[in-house]
Structure 1
């Protein structure tokens, strides 16, 4: 069954800011196998001119909460996660994310397009501080296998 195109353009904003913590950064760095001292040692991060530990660039995936009310979580969209594969994930950082940041995430279902028998959903994200500073932007592409409308 094709996905509901009426969802394109819908946006959702997190109700609760995402608290970037030192241990969360350290755990993420360990999980991805990155020994960069900026991700693990506060003094090294400060010596490099940062206010606190720096988060690895892909750390922002952890700030996209499942309870955000993402468009992809709404049953009326028609997305069956058993048919989904991850297509792509990209981030543009406007400054490093550091421990102590409080981030608000806004997600928008940017597009749904057919590619053969599949549909590709692109969701865009904006990560801002609670004071409104744009820290990063991102996109995520999901492939819904076999759901494209017949041609």
Structure 2
């Protein structure tokens, strides 16, 4: 069974804002071997001109994944049928500890490639004022027997 092309255009908003905590930033930084002091030391981050710890550039994958989980639950596609094809982050400003972020994932494209599908998504991440912080892109390759 193929991926339903009618999924294109669907949007999935996180039900609650995500509060970025210092320990979230530190834990993520350690997990991805981001050793710059602005990710781990508040004084270093403030000395560099930031209000608090700065999240590593791939940190938005946490919010992107939360939106993707909503999409997968809605579409019936199983995670075991997916290969992550591509990911991108287009920043307006860095994420810092203390940010309260909202995220909305939109399925921007569903293309069939033989029995497989390429599903592209864009996640807009905004702050508590509703201002854009970044846009994250992802492309998934879905095996033909997935849905």
Partner of 1:56: 56
Q: RMSD between aligned alpha carbons?
A: 1.8
Residues 70 and 107, structure 1, Cα contact 8 Å, conserved in 2 = no
Segments of structure 2 that go 5 or more residues without pairing to the other structure are: none
Moved more, 4-13 or 50-59: 4-13
Q: Deviation of residue 96 (structure 1)?
A: 0.5
Task: Determine the C-alpha separation between the residues in 2 that align with 1:69 and 1:30.
Answer: 24
Aligned residues: 146
Residues 15 and 68, structure 1, Cα contact 8 Å, conserved in 2 = no
SS in 1 for 2:59: helix
Would the alpha carbon gap of residues 68 and 34 (structure 1) be closer, same or farther in structure 2, given more than 3 Å must change? closer
Q: Deviation of residue 131 (structure 1)?
A: 1.0
Length-normalised TM-score, structure 2: 0.91
Segments of structure 1 that go 5 or more residues without pairing to the other structure are: none
Would the alpha carbon gap of residues 27 and 88 (structure 1) be closer, same or farther in structure 2, given more than 3 Å must change? same
Residues 12 and 69, structure 1, Cα contact 8 Å, conserved in 2 = no
Partner residue of 2:93 out of 60, 76, 95? 95
Q: Deviation of residue 146 (structure 1)?
A: 2.7
Partner of 2:114: 116
Q: Deviation of residue 78 (structure 1)?
A: 4.4
